């Protein structure tokens, strides 16, 4: 039977973040009123001591682990050690103390970066162990994949019930738009909208544009995560995606069109492309979760662009008002 989350105390790590805020919203819509969101200022989840305090304070029935240290290709290349340690340590301590506290369910959100570099397309969950991940994000991907091993082992030895989902590249409002650490869609939206505002005649994009990706709107991802929390007891890996593949070149051209940028698109081939292709087989999600993506790609991009423009407009107005006050 599906778990009724309305009757559970739920801890959502990363609950104030990009995906987490939507997960918490959807939990409230389901009637859940006991939701705890640990903040980094109070709980360092890489510290076992702080994780113990989290379980003691929150007394959760369910933990949905979304917190991660993550970024785009550049951030992964700059922080391989930190990304491995932080993501491995968080999962290690949280899963162990889920066992100690005998919680009802632990939900781990993995990453598509865990798949082998040359996984046959569309990616099937059975291919997860058939090779090494793409090198630029392997430390992050392997740490996340190790959490799957931990959940499986704890399920078999201790009976810990768990779920493990693998969302494809996410996008949507409230994403990270910092060009130093953002993923491809928010980075491109920011580049294009800035170019439009400043009247620039070109933008520069990393790589060759030949690689492909698949993208999932954040609301659809949040619904998939909660469906896994409700119906899964055994941590089988489950892809969350749309099954729609697009080259980065086509993606840039689409975002340029939607933002009204008509200048030249230049490619810096000295920068890495990352994994050659990404596109998921989502049959298992449909079968086991009764879930499939609902938001069309162009519609999702329009919503994200609209949110970013409102956000930047609001920030500019605040700066002007502060300047006037001074």
- Predicted pLDDT at 272: 84
132 counts as catalytic? no
- Predicted pLDDT at 322: 57
- Predicted pLDDT at 153: 98
Q: Where are the domains of the chain?
A: 5-315
- Predicted pLDDT at 273: 86
- Predicted pLDDT at 319: 59
Contact 133, 84 (CB under 8 A): no
Report the chain (326 residues): mean pLDDT per 10 consecutive residues: 95 97 98 96 97 97 95 85 97 98 98 93 96 94 97 98 97 92 91 97 95 96 98 98 96 98 96 87 98 97 98 70 53
Q: Let me know if domain 5-315 sits in CATH 3.40.50.300.
A: no
Among residues 97, 65, 68, 96, which one has the least CA distance to residue 82? Answer: 68
- Predicted pLDDT at 275: 79
Catalytic residue among 55, 115, 140, 154: 140
Q: Residue length, the chain?
A: 326
- Predicted pLDDT at 315: 66
């Amino acid at each position: 039977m599906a778990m009724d989350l309305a009757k559970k105390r739920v801890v959502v790590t990363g609950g104030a973040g990009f995906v987490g805020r939507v997960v918490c919203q959807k939990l409230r819509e389901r009637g859940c009123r006991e939701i705890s969101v640990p903040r980094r200022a109070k709980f360092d989840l890489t510290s076992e001591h702080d994780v113990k305090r989290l379980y003691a304070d929150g007394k959760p029935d369910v933990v949905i682990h979304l917190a991660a240290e993550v970024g785009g290709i550049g951030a992964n290349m700059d922080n391989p050690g930190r990304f491995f340690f932080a993501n491995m340590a968080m999962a290690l301590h949280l899963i162990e103390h889920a066992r100690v506290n005998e919680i009802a369910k632990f939900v781990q959100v993995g990453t598509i970066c865990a798949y082998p570099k040359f996984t046959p397309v569309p990616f099937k969950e059975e291919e997860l162990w058939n090779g090494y991940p793409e090198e630029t994000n392997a430390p992050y991907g392997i740490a996340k994949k190790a959490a799957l091993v931990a959940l499986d082992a704890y399920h078999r030895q201790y009976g810990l019930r768990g779920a493990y989902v693998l969302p494809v590249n996410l996008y949507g409002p409230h994403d990270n738009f910092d060009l130093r650490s953002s993923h491809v869609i928010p980075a491109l939206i920011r580049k294009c909208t800035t170019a439009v505002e400043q009247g620039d005649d070109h933008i520069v994009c990393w790589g060759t544009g030949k690689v492909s990706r698949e993208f999932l709107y954040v609301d659809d991802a949040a619904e998939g995560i909660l469906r896994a929390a409700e119906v899964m007891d055994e941590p089988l890996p489950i892809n969350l995606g749309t099954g729609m593949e697009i080259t980065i070149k086509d993606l840039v051209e689409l975002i340029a069109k939607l933002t009204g940028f008509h200048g030249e698109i230049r490619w810096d081939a000295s920068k890495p492309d990352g994994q050659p292709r990404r596109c998921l087989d989502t049959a298992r999600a449909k079968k086991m979760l009764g879930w499939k993506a609902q938001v069309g790609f162009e519609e999702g991009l329009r919503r994200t662009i609209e949110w970013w423009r409102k956000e930047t407009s609001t920030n500019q107005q605040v700066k002007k008002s502060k300047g006037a006050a001074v």
